[in-house]
Amino acid sequence: MKNQELARIFRHIALYLEMDNEIIFKIRAYENAANSLESLPEDIENIYKKGGVKALEDVQGVGRGIAEKIEEYLKTGKIKHYEEMKKRVPVDIDSLSAVEGLGPKKILILYKKLKIKNLKDLENSAQAGKIRKLAGFGAKTEENILKGIGFAKTSNERFPIGVVLPVAVEIEKRLQSLPYVKRAIVAGSIRRRKETIGDADFLVVSEQPKKVMDYFVSMPDIARVYGRGETKSMIKLKNGLDADLRVVPERSLGAALNYFTGSKEHNVALRTIAIKKGMKLNEYGLFRGPRFTAGKDEEELYKALGLHYIEPEIRENTGEIEASRKNTLPNLISCDDLKGDLQVQTAWTDGANSIEEMAVAAKQHGLSYIVITDHTKSLAVAGGLDEKRLAQQSKEIDRLNGRLDGITVLKGAEVNIMKDGSLDIDNPALRELDVVGFAVHSLFKMPKKEMTERIIRAMNNEHADILFHPTGREIGKRPPFDIGIEKIIDAAKETGTVLEIDAYPSRLDLKDEHIRLAIKNGVKLSIDSDAHNKNHFRFLEFGIAQARRGWAEKKDIINAWPLGKMKKMLK
Ligand code: DGT
Ligand code: CA
Ligand code: CA
Ligand code: ZN
């Protein structure tokens, strides 16, 4: 459970080191450790308990120095070095660095010159025109900061599903393991797998609600208790997430689960149907007059309302109820449907592991093929590959396929779309690749018309197979590009280009409504982890959830198909 806390601290340390102009190698080490901890399936505390510092060092991305810091944190609850950094520059580094265009160096200057510690200070100084006067800032920067604050404000009170889900599942498991708990389920937006989460909602069936409350309000990872009642309590976790728990009667579990899963709009629609049938629906059950009609499980509840069961991910009152009534609900893609992963980075560029390590990890994850898609040359920060290096990589992949069993490694790249819509790798080299992924990684702020034309021009390249993270957003950090998504979907259909659902939890790009629109227009999609280390294949789960929220079926997702069929879909 300390995995996320430590990851957050290491991200902060990396930012502080950047302020200090520390060498890039050292900064990357902390970022890598944070990435690894965020996606680590085991509890870091358990690893330490079993094998001490030595075992910590075996964790991907953790070397001696960082292992010792982890030990220090687990033993004392603090990391001295980090505490000193915070004391020296006491700023709200999370919210400030979430403002687009504000890096650590700028944050430091703002603190030193204007004593800016948080978003409020930043906003005040920007509005007072103080920032434009600082060397290296200017009026344009000030304007962008104000825009950035607006965006950070609207997105920051919510938590990415990638951070919340592992914590919620852990708490759910702990509750479930208590001897006096019959069932424990996480409901709300987490069960619907929304891309961001306001708070966590737990439901428990137990004959000893008092004991459940005792346990819940004294869990080790709590920052504060807002309230504790007979059957309901509310807390804040140390990671900042609020959580509430309710104990419900067994015969009402289905009704309670349905009510607290939401969405609110879906609930309202169901209640209206109940009323039309002369019944009443609430969190205790479905009633005809005083008589309890249904409510023990959700299936029976939907049935009693004359509906087919509706999966949580599509309970948004966007047509699912009508489809349920007419029995035309989609047969949603499921967790074990994926056969391959079409976007994987390696240590050839900004990934942490070798091609072989990634292939082995993918196989363990149950996949039978992956595409290696390292960045290409115009992305200098990632050490992008040129035509020559791609050819070298191709040879290594051939050798590897000769040795590996049960997994096929395909050749690909994540090619950059240049300003004019051309690609930064020449066509003869692209022809040699099995899968050409392509994406915008520069000039994010182009006007809508230009950006749309730029991307469409790239889609018209005879080798361009999959448009990666099509809208370029980073949740809570960077808004999507200003693009005409309908035009891009039309162009995808016309050119036979696949659109990606990037499963990386901070991207989840495309989003649900765009996925639905693409499918409606007959466009095919892929679900890719965008893995940068060998633990990242777990992210596919978030991509599948996103696809389900977009009503996707197996037939819509090309990497849910066997390799041969998938390849035929490509240009
Ligand atoms: P969140 O927490 O903002 O990510 O989203 P939810 O959907 O988890 O919302 P939350 O935690 O406020 O409430 C959990 C569920 O409880 C919600 O999905 C539906 C139900 N609910 C809450 N308030 C209302 C309400 O006023 N009317 C109805 N019908 N249902 C509600
Ligand atoms: Ca909630
Ligand atoms: Ca709630
Ligand atoms: Zn990318």
How confident is the prediction for the chain on average, in pLDDT?
A: 94
Q: Closest Cα partner for 63 from 24, 36, 84?
A: 36
Closest ligand 1 atom number to CA of residue 201? 11
Say what the pLDDT of residue 300 is: 96
Q: Environment class of residue 64 by beta-carbon count within 10 Å: exposed (0-12), middle (13-18) or buried (19+)? A: exposed
Of 201, 263, 272, 314, the residue with max ligand 1 atoms within 8 A of its CB, to mutate for a pocket test, comes to 201
Assess whether 443 and 553 both reside in one domain.
Answer: yes
* 189 CA to centre of ligand 3 in angstroms: 9
Ligand nearest to the CA of 261: 1
Percent of the chain's residues with pLDDT above 70: 99
| Average pLDDT of the segment spanning 222-231 | 88
Ligand nearest to the CA of 260: 1
Closest ligand 1 atom number to CA of residue 194? 4
Of the listed ranges 115-124, 260-269, 322-331, 499-508, the least confidently predicted one is 115-124
- Angle at which helices 540-549 and 161-176 cross, to 10°: 100
Number of domains in the chain: 4
**φ and ψ of 203, to 5 deg:** -120, 140
Assess whether 429 and 448 both reside in one domain.
Answer: yes
Assess whether 258 and 170 both reside in one domain.
Answer: no
CB of 111 closer than 6 A to ligand 1? no
CB of 515 closer than 6 A to ligand 1? no
Say what the pLDDT of residue 24 is: 83
Q: pLDDT for 106-147, tens place per residue?
A: 999 999 999 999 988 998 899 888 999 998 888 888 888 888
Task: Answer whether residue 151 shows pLDDT above 80.
Answer: no
CATH code, domain with 552: 3.20.20.140
Say what the pLDDT of residue 154 is: 64
Task: Tell me the β-bridge partners of 160.
Answer: 196
Q: Which residue has the higher pLDDT, 497 or 127?
A: 497
Residue nearest to atom 18 of ligand 1 (CA): 262
A 10 A CB-CB count for 264 gives 11
CATH code, domain with 139: 1.10.150.110
Q: Give me the half-sphere count of Cα atoms (radius 13 Å) on the Cβ side of residue 428.
A: 3
Helix (H, G, I), strand (E, B) or coil at 466: strand
CB of 198 closer than 6 A to ligand 1? yes
Between the alpha carbon of residue 202 and those of residues 187, 196, 372, the distances in Å are 6, 17, 40
Assess whether 79 and 22 both reside in one domain.
Answer: yes
SS3 annotation, 332-387: ECCCCCCCEEEEECCCCCCCCCCHHHHHHHHHHCCCCEEEECCEECCCHHHCCECH
* 203 CA to centre of ligand 2 in angstroms: 12
Q: Which residue type occupies 256?
A: A
* 316 CA to centre of ligand 3 in angstroms: 16
CB of 316 closer than 6 A to ligand 1? no
Residue where a domain terminates, one of 247, 280, 299: 247
38 — pLDDT class (breaks 50, 70, 90): confident
Assess whether 179 and 268 both reside in one domain.
Answer: no
* 304 CA to centre of ligand 4 in angstroms: 47
Q: Whole-angstrom Cα distance, residue 253 to residue 284? A: 8
Ligand nearest to the CA of 226: 3
Assess whether 378 and 399 both reside in one domain.
Answer: yes
Q: What is the largest CA-CA distance in the chain?
A: 77
- 198 secondary structure, DSSP code: S
Q: Whole-angstrom Cα distance, residue 550 to residue 509? A: 11
* 270 CA to centre of ligand 3 in angstroms: 20
Percent of the chain's residues with pLDDT above 90: 83
Cβ(417)–Cβ(450) below 8 Å: no
* 261 CA to centre of ligand 1 in angstroms: 7
| Average pLDDT of the segment spanning 440-467 | 97
Assess whether 451 and 542 both reside in one domain.
Answer: yes
Helix (H, G, I), strand (E, B) or coil at 67: helix
Of the listed ranges 35-39, 52-56, 369-373, the least confidently predicted one is 35-39
CB of 258 closer than 6 A to ligand 1? no
Q: pLDDT for 335-381, tens place per residue?
A: 999 999 999 999 999 999 999 999 999 999 999 999 999 999 998 87
| Average pLDDT of the segment spanning 69-84 | 96
User: DSSP characters for 75-96?
Assistant: HHS--HHHHHHHHHS---HHHH
Residue where a domain terminates, one of 309, 326, 343: 326
Say what the pLDDT of residue 127 is: 87
Helix (H, G, I), strand (E, B) or coil at 281: strand
Task: Answer whether residue 423 shows pLDDT above 90.
Answer: yes
Of the listed ranges 211-220, 359-368, 451-460, the least confidently predicted one is 211-220
* 256 CA to centre of ligand 4 in angstroms: 41
Assess whether 125 and 169 both reside in one domain.
Answer: no
| Angle of CA points 75, 77, 79, to nearest 5° | 95
Domain of residue 314 covers: 253-326
Q: Which residue type occupies 232?
A: K
Task: Answer whether residue 421 shows pLDDT above 70.
Answer: yes
Assess whether 434 and 544 both reside in one domain.
Answer: yes
Q: Is the Cα dihedral 512, 517, 522, 523 positive or negative? A: negative
| Average pLDDT of the segment spanning 528-532 | 97
Say what the pLDDT of residue 184 is: 98
Assess whether 500 and 380 both reside in one domain.
Answer: yes
Q: Whole-angstrom Cα distance, residue 17 to residue 65? A: 15
Residue where a domain terminates, one of 267, 295, 326: 326
Q: Whole-angstrom Cα distance, residue 309 to residue 316? A: 14
Q: Whole-angstrom Cα distance, residue 497 to residue 463? A: 9
Q: Closest Cα partner for 333 from 353, 319, 313?
A: 313
Of 226, 260, 265, the residue with max ligand 1 atoms within 8 A of its CB, to mutate for a pocket test, comes to 260
Say what the pLDDT of residue 410 is: 98
Of 267, 317, 475, 549, the residue with max ligand 1 atoms within 8 A of its CB, to mutate for a pocket test, comes to 267
| Average pLDDT of the segment spanning 228-256 | 92
**φ and ψ of 443, to 5 deg:** 50, 55
Of 156, 264, 266, the residue with max ligand 1 atoms within 8 A of its CB, to mutate for a pocket test, comes to 264
Which residues does 405 contact at the CB level (< 8 Å), separation at least 6?
A: none
Cβ(47)–Cβ(20) below 8 Å: no
Assess whether 132 and 53 both reside in one domain.
Answer: yes
| Average pLDDT of the segment spanning 424-449 | 96
Ligand nearest to the CA of 234: 3
Assess whether 300 and 431 both reside in one domain.
Answer: no
CB of 263 closer than 6 A to ligand 1? yes
Q: Which residue has the higher pLDDT, 399 or 238?
A: 399
CATH code, domain with 282: 3.30.210.10
